[in-house]
C-alpha cells in the first residue's frame, strides 16, 4: 500500500504563473499550487525485487500491432517495450546488465555531443487518423532503449523498432542483408511487400536525406550514430501499420548494411523534430502532436506511444519548446534550476541556457538513460543531496556514478525527492525510484545523475519513466502529465 500511495505521487507539478497556449486543444494545467512531498519513504527491498528479476520474455514477444486498437477505441496505442524484455537473456546478472547499459549510455551521450559539434525540404502529406502504440519497458539487459511494435509493408510484417526522439530517420534491416545484427523477428524482405517502392535519385525525398547518394538510379542513404552504430541502404516509400491504422508512402531506409546497439530491434523509428522523422512526415495531419509514457522499470505493464492532436492531455503542465538551428532534431526545453528536498539548489540559471550559437541547453531524450548536467550544476546538486542523505551508509562509486549507497540492511529509507524547476513556472518533482537505482542485487543504489562532458544537459529516460510526456509541435510546447503509467 505504501508503494501504491507514493506511485500516486509519481508526477508532482507545482505551477506558479499560468501559461498561455494558442491552441484550444492543449489547455494548460490550473495555476494554483499543488502540495508535493519533500521526502519519501523509499522501499528498498521491493525495488530490488522488482528491478533485478528476470521475467519470461515470451510475455512481451506476444505483443503485436494487431491487438491494440479495439481496446483503445479511437485513440490508437501501441505497446512500448524496453528491449530488455525481448527474448535475449544472455546477461542474467543484474550487475552485468547495468554495466552494459551504462557503457552504451556513455556512447549515446558522446554521439549527441558530437552531432552538435558538427552541426549535424518539404513534408509528405498523409490522410491519417489519430493513432498510437503501447510502450513496454524493462531493464533485463540494460540497453536503455524503448521499442514499439509496428507492421512494415503489405502484407504487414510485425517488427520491433527502437523509438528515438533524437533521430529523424525511419529505417529497418532489409534483405538481401550483407551485414545485419541479430533481431527478434525475421529480417524484412521488400520483395514480399506489394507497397514497397524505391525512391529515385531525382526525387525531392532523396534531397532531404543527409549523406544521400545514387546507385543504379536509386537513392542511397547512410546514417552514422557516432557511437560506431550505422545503417546503409536504399531509400524507399513503404506502408507502415500502427495499431489498425495504415500509413502509406512513408519514406524509410531499407538497410542492407547495419551495425550497432540495436540488437533485438528491426530498426529505428525516428521521432525527432526534422522533416524526415515519422512525426515530420505526418506533418499537418497530426500537427506534430504525439505523446509517450515510458513504463517504470520492474513492472509487467506497458507504456504507450500515441499520435494525433486528440491525444494531447487536458491538465498537463506545458512549457515552451526551444529550437536550436544547429540541431533541429532535438527537443529543447528551458530549465531554470534544480531542487532537493523541496529546497532550490543555488545554481546560476545561465548554466542551463541555450545560447544563440546553439551551445548548452536542455534536451529531452528517450535514447539516453541517465540525466546529464553541466559539471558545476551536477556538483552543487549532488552535494546538496549528500547533505540530505548523510545518515545513509555510502558505497564505492559504480560505473559513471560517484554517489552510491549501501542499503542492503534496510527495508525502507527516508530520502529527499528531487525537482526540476522548469522555465515559465512548473516544477517537476520526481519520486526516489526515478533517481535512486539498484546497480546490483545486494542493495547498492546510486544517485542516477552524471556530469556532462560539455555544457549540454540531457534529461534521460530513467527520469522520464512513469510520466506522460506530450509534444505539441504546431504550437511549440511540451507537456508533463497529468497521467502516469
Cβ pair 228, 111 in contact under 8 A:
no
pLDDT at 139 over 50: no
pLDDT at 72 over 60: no
Q: Under the phi-then-psi rule, with left for phi > 0, alpha for psi from -120 to 50, and beta for the rest, what region is 199?
A: beta
CA distances from 95 to 48, 240, 409, 437 (A): 12, 37, 19, 12
To the nearest whole number, what is the mean pLDDT of the chain? Answer: 79
Q: How confident is the model at residue 52 (pLDDT cuts 50, 70, 90)?
A: low
pLDDT at 127 over 70: no
Question: What local confidence, expressed as pLDDT, does residue 91 receive?
Answer: 52
Q: Rounded to an integer, what distance in angstroms lies between the CA atom of residue 286 and that of residue 473? A: 9
**Domains of the chain with CATH codes:** 2-484 (2.40.70.10)
pLDDT at 234 over 90: yes
- Specify the higher pLDDT residue, 34 or 255: 255
pLDDT at 199 over 90: yes
Average pLDDT of 309-327?
Answer: 90
pLDDT at 75 over 60: no
Q: Which residue has the cell 544521400?
A: 212
The residues annotated as belonging to the active site are: 164, 365
Question: What local confidence, expressed as pLDDT, does residue 297 receive?
Answer: 61
Average pLDDT of 326-345?
Answer: 93
> Parallel, antiparallel, or unpaired: how do β-strands 467-472 and 289-293 relate?
antiparallel
Question: What local confidence, expressed as pLDDT, does residue 153 receive?
Answer: 97
- Specify the higher pLDDT residue, 51 or 458: 458
Question: What local confidence, expressed as pLDDT, does residue 424 receive?
Answer: 86
pLDDT tens-place string over residues 84-98: 665 544 456 667 667
pLDDT at 430 over 60: yes
Residues of the chain with pLDDT > 90, as a percent, come to: 42
Cβ pair 448, 436 in contact under 8 A:
yes
pLDDT tens-place string over residues 103-125: 777 777 777 777 777 655 333 32
> Parallel, antiparallel, or unpaired: how do β-strands 362-364 and 343-344 relate?
unpaired
Chain mean position to CA 311: 18
Q: Which residue has the cell 512526415?
A: 281
DSSP state of 191: G
pLDDT at 256 over 90: yes
> Parallel, antiparallel, or unpaired: how do β-strands 457-459 and 362-364 relate?
parallel
Q: How confident is the model at residue 8 (pLDDT cuts 50, 70, 90)?
A: very low
Amino acid at each position: 500500500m505504501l508503494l501504491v500511495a507514493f506511485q500516486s505521487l509519481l508526477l508532482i507539478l507545482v505551477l506558479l504563473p499560468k501559461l498561455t497556449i494558442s491552441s484550444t486543444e492543449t489547455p494548460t494545467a490550473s495555476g494554483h499550487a499543488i502540495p508535493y512531498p519533500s521526502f519519501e519513504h523509499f522501499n528498498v527491498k521491493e525495488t530490488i525485487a522488482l528491478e533485478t528479476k528476470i521475467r519470461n520474455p515470451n510475455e512481451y514477444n506476444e505483443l503485436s500491432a494487431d491487438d491494440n486498437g479495439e481496446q483503445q477505441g479511437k485513440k490508437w496505442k501501441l505497446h512500448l517495450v524496453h528491449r530488455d524484455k525481448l527474448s535475449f537473456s544472455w546477461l542474467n546478472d543484474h550487475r552485468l546488465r547495468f554495466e552494459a547499459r551504462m557503457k552504451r549510455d556513455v556512447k549515446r551521450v558522446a554521439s549527441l555531443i558530437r552531432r552538435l559539434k558538427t552541426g549535424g525540404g518539404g513534408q509528405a502529406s498523409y490522410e491519417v487518423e489519430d493513432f498510437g502504440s503501447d510502450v513496454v519497458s524493462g531493464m533485463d539487459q540494460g540497453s536503455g532503449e524503448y521499442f514499439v511494435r509496428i507492421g512494415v509493408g503489405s502484407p504487414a510484417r510485425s517488427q520491433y523498432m527502437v523509438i528515438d526522439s533524437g533521430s529523424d530517420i525511419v529505417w529497418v534491416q532489409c534483405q538481401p542483408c550483407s551485414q545485419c545484427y541479430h533481431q527478434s523477428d525475421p529480417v524484412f524482405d521488400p520483395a514480399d511487400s506489394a507497397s514497397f517502392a524505391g525512391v529515385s535519385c531525382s526525387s525531392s525525398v532523396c534531397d532531404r536525406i543527409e549523406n544521400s547518394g545514387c546507385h543504379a538510379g536509386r537513392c542511397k542513404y547512410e546514417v552514422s550514430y557516432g557511437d560506431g552504430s550505422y545503417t546503409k541502404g536504399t531509400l524507399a516509400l513503404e506502408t507502415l501499420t500502427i495499431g489498425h491504422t495504415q500509413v502509406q508512402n512513408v519514406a524509410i531506409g531499407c538497410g542492407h548494411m547495419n551495425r550497432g546497439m540495436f540488437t533485438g530491434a528491426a530498426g529505428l523509428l525516428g521521432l525527432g523534430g526534422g522533416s524526415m522523422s515519422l512525426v515530420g512526415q505526418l506533418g499537418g495531419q497530426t500537427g506534430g502532436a504525439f505523446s509517450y509514457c515510458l513504463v517504470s522499470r520492474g513492472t509487467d505493464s506497458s507504456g504507450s506511444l500515441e499520435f494525433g492532436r486528440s491525444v494531447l492531455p487536458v491538465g498537463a503542465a506545458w512549457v515552451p519548446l526551444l529550437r536550436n538551428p544547429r540541431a533541429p532534431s532535438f527537443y529543447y526545453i528551458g530549465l531554470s534550476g534544480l531542487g532537493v528536498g523541496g529546497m532550490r539548489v543555488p545554481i546560476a540559471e545561465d548554466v542551463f541556457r541555450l545560447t544563440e550559437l546553439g551551445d548548452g541547453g536542455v534536451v529531452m531524450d528517450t535514447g539516453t538513460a541517465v540525466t546529464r548536467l553541466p559539471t558545476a550544476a551536477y556538483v552543487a546538486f549532488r552535494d546538496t543531496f549528500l547533505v540530505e542523505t548523510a545518515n545513509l551508509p555510502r558505497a564505492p562509486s559504480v560505473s559513471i556514478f560517484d554517489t552510491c549507497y549501501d542499503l542492503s540492511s534496510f527495508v525502507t529509507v527516508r530520502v529527499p525527492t528531487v525537482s526540476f524547476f522548469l522555465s515559465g513556472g512548473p516544477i517537476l518533482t520526481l519520486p526516489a525510484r526515478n533517481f535512486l537505482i539498484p546497480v546490483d542485487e545486494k542493495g547498492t543504489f546510486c544517485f542516477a545523475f552524471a556530469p556532462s562532458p560539455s555544457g549540454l544537459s540531457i534529461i534521460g529516460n530513467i527520469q522520464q519513466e512513469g510520466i506522460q510526456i506530450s509534444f505539441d509541435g504546431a504550437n511549440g510546447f511540451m507537456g508533463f502529465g497529468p497521467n502516469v503509467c
